[in-house]
């Protein structure tokens, strides 16, 4: 069974996806983490995100894996190195949308996402899961929230991990990513026609998970 969870940055997809997968005993696949891992590698190798041929060559020669750990966390492996923490840094967040808009990069990532998702029952979260990666997913959700609320959630999350960033910086970043992610030519963020829309602005994480589990059970 494939469960697709799409939506904009800061809507709570990863927390919801991870915990929903755990409750169901499914694999959790954070597709945003894959684009983030590629972004980290580009920065480390000094490759500009605007140098598309070099980015594509790099992506072709990169091994990304996601490991669901016993404690419920997800290890993001970049060429066998655990980069789970590094990929959440603002320097990655600022550039990731530019990497994710490259057509050939998406082709490589989508291929990997399909391979991972077909291994066993999975919950995938991203921007194009229900529209492109698994258009035949068994259940599709589009998780949304008001812009200010998404900024607040992302800001709290970053504060908790000890990152020095202001509310205004988070606001500018989300605005920038919303624009790039939803206007890019290839697989833009878009609600699939058959996705269940959840406005989570006034919902707690537990309520969102409950709403998703209920809809999965009830078909
Ligand atoms: O969900 P996230 O913030 O970790 O995603 C990071 C970026 O990756 C996001 O700005 C857009 C991109 N992304 C994408 O284009 N397609 C996906 N399936 C997942 C993420």
On whether the CB atoms of residues 100 and 36 are closer than 8 A, the answer is no
108 confidence band (pLDDT: 50, 70, 90): very high
72 confidence band (pLDDT: 50, 70, 90): confident
Residue with CA nearest ligand 1 atom 10: 97
Domains of the chain: 2-214 (3.40.50.300)
pLDDT surpasses 80 at 4: yes
Residue with CA nearest ligand 1 atom 8: 32
181 CA: nearest ligand 1 atom: 11
100 lines ligand 1 (CB under 6 A): yes
Residue with CA nearest ligand 1 atom 2: 32
Predicted local confidence at residue 158, as pLDDT: 87
**CA torsion angle for 148, 3, 30, 163 (degrees, to 10)?**
30
On whether the CB atoms of residues 11 and 182 are closer than 8 A, the answer is no
d(CA 23, CA 11): 20
Residue with CA nearest ligand 1 atom 6: 32
Place of tokens 């480390």: 44
d(CA 165, CA 155): 8
Ligand 1 mean position, distance from CA 33 (Å): 7
Ligand 1 mean position, distance from CA 32 (Å): 4
Predicted local confidence at residue 86, as pLDDT: 96
| pLDDT tens profile 77-98 | 999 999 999 999 989 999 999 9
6 lines ligand 1 (CB under 6 A): no
This prediction's pTM: 0.95
131 lines ligand 1 (CB under 6 A): no
On whether the CB atoms of residues 66 and 77 are closer than 8 A, the answer is yes
| Token code pair at residue 160 | 């908790």
Ligand 1 mean position, distance from CA 128 (Å): 9
d(CA 59, CA 103): 12
Determine what percent of the chain is predicted with pLDDT higher than 70: 100
Contacts for 17 with CB less than 8 Å, ≥ 6 apart? 5, 28, 30, 123, 124, 125
pLDDT surpasses 80 at 219: no
| pLDDT tens profile 7-40 | 999 999 999 999 999 999 999 999 999 999 999 9
Predicted local confidence at residue 157, as pLDDT: 87
Contacts for 106 with CB less than 8 Å, ≥ 6 apart? 100, 128, 186, 187
Give the ranges where 61-166 is alpha helix by DSSP (H).
90-100, 103-119, 147-160
177 CA: nearest ligand 1 atom: 10
**pLDDT mean across residues, the chain:** 95
Cα angle for residues 9, 10, 13 (degrees, 5° grid):
85
φ, ψ for residue 7 (rounded to 5)?
A: 155, 170
Residue with CA nearest ligand 1 atom 9: 97
Contacts for 30 with CB less than 8 Å, ≥ 6 apart? 14, 17, 18, 66, 74, 76, 125, 126
């Amino acid at each position: 069974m494939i469960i697709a969870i799409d939506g904009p940055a800061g809507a709570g997809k990863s927390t919801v996806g991870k915990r929903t997968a755990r409750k169901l005993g499914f694999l959790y696949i954070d597709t945003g983490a894959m684009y983030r891992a590629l972004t980290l590698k580009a920065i480390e190798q000094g490759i500009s995100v605007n140098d598309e041929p070099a980015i594509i060559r790099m992506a072709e020669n990169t091994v990304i894996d996601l490991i669901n750990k016993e404690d419920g966390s997800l290890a993001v492996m970049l060429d066998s190195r655990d980069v789970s923490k590094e990929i959440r840094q603002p320097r990655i967040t600022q550039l990731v949308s530019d990497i994710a808009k490259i057509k050939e990069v998406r082709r490589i990532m989508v291929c990997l996402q399909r391979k991972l998702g077909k291994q066993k029952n999975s919950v995938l979260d991203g921007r194009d899961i229900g529209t492109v990666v698994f258009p035949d997913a068994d259940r599709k959700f589009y998780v949304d929230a008001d812009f200010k609320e998404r900024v607040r959630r992302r800001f709290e999350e970053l504060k908790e991990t000890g990152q020095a960033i202001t509310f205004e910086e988070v606001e500018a970043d989300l605005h920038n990513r919303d624009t790039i992610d939803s206007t890019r030519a290839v697989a833009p963020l878009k609600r699939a026609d058959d996705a269940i829309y959840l406005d989570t602005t006034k919902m707690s994480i537990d309520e969102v998970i409950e709403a998703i589990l209920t809809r999965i059970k009830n078909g």
